[in-house]
Chain A
Amino acid sequence: MAKDDNKLPISAQIQQQTSKLVDQTQGSQAWSSIFRPGSIFRKGYTDSPRNRSYVIMNSVLYHLHPVKVKRHAVKVSYTLCLGGISFFTFIVLTVTGIFLMFFYRPTAAQAWDDIFQLQSAVTFGLLIRNMHRWAAHLMVLSVFLHMARVFYHGAYKAPREFNWVIGVMLLQFTLLLSFTGYLLPWDQLALWAVTVGTNMMGYTPVFGQQVRFVLLGGVEIGTDTLLRWYVLHVLFLPFVTVIFMAIHFWRVRKDGGISGPL
């Protein structure tokens, strides 16, 4: 037998080995767990109601969307995509923010120089920083408009009352995310804008000065403030925001999808 195999031409042997390898791979557990039964990656995609359902059911999108949605829900004129834009800007901000973190050290001595270096010496540094800045302002705007849209559609009414509460919390987290990021460039704009903002905070009755002290890491804005706001900006607030967003999206489906036409 072995001799017969050896007598086969090289191309046939390669073909044999290849087909054996393909069979092995496609029969393996890893393969069948990735290309699950019903997956369009397994059978190819032809346009049928069944495959349209599978696109959602066999992907992570099933966490976000049901297989079918109300017809009016896909009309751009109804929601203006504002909630989606808010979520998408959050993703853009996360991606560009991670890029910025590679080049930034949150100390009073280094922060401004790092940003300056980023803009002048890092490939795409200026562009990515611009995108981060403008996406942040766009997110504040779109979250605000999303809230207005939901109010004018009366979409906060039963059964969506609690999701409205979550939404107002998310609006506040958005403002806090933007405000904590404002200090990080450590330029005149950042320093004095945050001074004005935190002075206002200090007037909270009873515990105002204590809250201000904890947030500033001292009685005045300084390098400790920078570190604190950096951690709040890149870890704590995004973490809390993601949790609230998960609840927000889950409740949208739980409460029967987006609200009905007026």
Chain B
Amino acid sequence: MTEIPEHLRKRAEEARAKASAAAEPAADAAPAADDAPQSEAASKIPAHLLERSRAAKAKSDGGAVEAAAPAAAAAGGGVATAVAAAPAAPAATGPGGHTQRLLTVVKSGSIQDVKAVPQDKVHTWPHLLIVEFVCALFVTAFLLIFSFFVNAPLLELANFNETPNPSKAPWYFLGLQELLTMFHPMVAGVTIPGIGLFLLILAPYIDRNPSMKPEDRKFAISLQTVHLMYWAVLTMIGSFFRGPGFNFIMPWSDGLFFEF
């Protein structure tokens, strides 16, 4: 069964309620219209309009009778009824006094592509805000406690004449510095990270596979995992396995040459 959108359903319900409310006084009014002033007052139609329509009805009835009489005298009855019906046609009503016919009901699902399916939602307050608040508390607590026990490094004053051995970039660039040992600086420092970033930005435009399920995106996920692992390994080698002269060392035997 097709889902009728919430707002359309409500609108239809309102219209239906309104129509049935309007129909009841009207239904009362119709039979009693001739001599029931109180039900007339109850209906929303202004008195002078009712008066006019009653006069018109009386006139047309009278007219029909008047027309029928001479016609019947002049010609046959069949013609007479046709003539009589003609002026009455605009005021003609169907059974129950309806002036309109309902041709068909078209359900919205067959002509509209309804995408808004009802979703399982919760209030942002308290459900989401509580989680965020607790998360912020945890981060603050972690930072405070960690900062209380571990001091940020402050080495001696910068000295251009004394190059520390090894000289290392900040940790997030140590993957790049590690690449420097393998390639020409332009390739290691510019080309490879440049292409990497460019591809990363273009990821949604390259990967046109619409599915978000891991089982449908095996290639994309493996590629990204290899990529991330590649950087992580390079960064870790650069951070922990490089000592004086940026030579390869084992941190457990030669010590750590790494500052945050």
Q: Which residues of chain A have a CB within 8 Å of any CB of chain B?
A: 49, 52-53, 55-56, 61, 65-74, 76, 81, 84-85, 88-89, 92, 108, 112, 115-116, 119, 126-127, 129-135, 137-138, 140, 148, 151-158, 160-161, 164-165, 168-169, 172, 175, 178-179, 182, 185-193, 195-197, 199-201, 203-205, 208, 220, 259-260, 262
Contacts and interface: CB of A to CB of B under 8 A. Distances in A.
7 contacts: A53-B123, A55-B125, A65-B129, A74-B122, A88-B135, A158-B210, A169-B201
Contacts, number: 205
Given A69-B121, A134-B147, A205 B190 contact: yes
Given A152-B224, A168-B201, 10 more contacts: A70-B122, A148-B228, A151-B224, A154-B213, A156-B203, A187-B156, A189-B259, A195-B167, A200-B177, A204-B190
Given A165-B201, A168-B200, A189-B155, A127 B122 contact: no
A81 B204 contact: no
Contact of A160 (B121, B186, B204): B204
B120 A70 contact: yes
Nearest to B122: A71
B204 A164 contact: yes
Contacts of A204: 186, 189-190
Interface of B is mostly: helix
Interface residues on B, range: 35 or more
Nearest to B211: A154
A208 to B, nearest CB: 7
Contacts of B224: 148, 151-152
B179 to A, nearest CB: 9
A126 B151 contact: yes
B135 A81 contact: yes
A262 B213 contact: yes
Nearest to A168: B201
B80 interface: no
Interface string B231-260: 000000000000000000000000000011
Contacts of B110: none
Interface in B111-125: 119-125
Contacts of B150: 130, 134
B217 A154 contact: yes
A155 B201 CA distance: 14
B206 to A, nearest CB: 11
B198 to A, nearest CB: 10
A155 B207 CA distance: 12
A127 B176 contact: no
B158 A52 contact: no
Interface in B166-209: 167-173, 176-177, 180, 185-186, 188-190, 197, 200-201, 203-205, 207, 209
A69 B131 CA distance: 13
A67 B172 CA distance: 38
Interface in B75-97: none
Given A70-B120, A131-B147, A172-B197, A203 B189 contact: yes
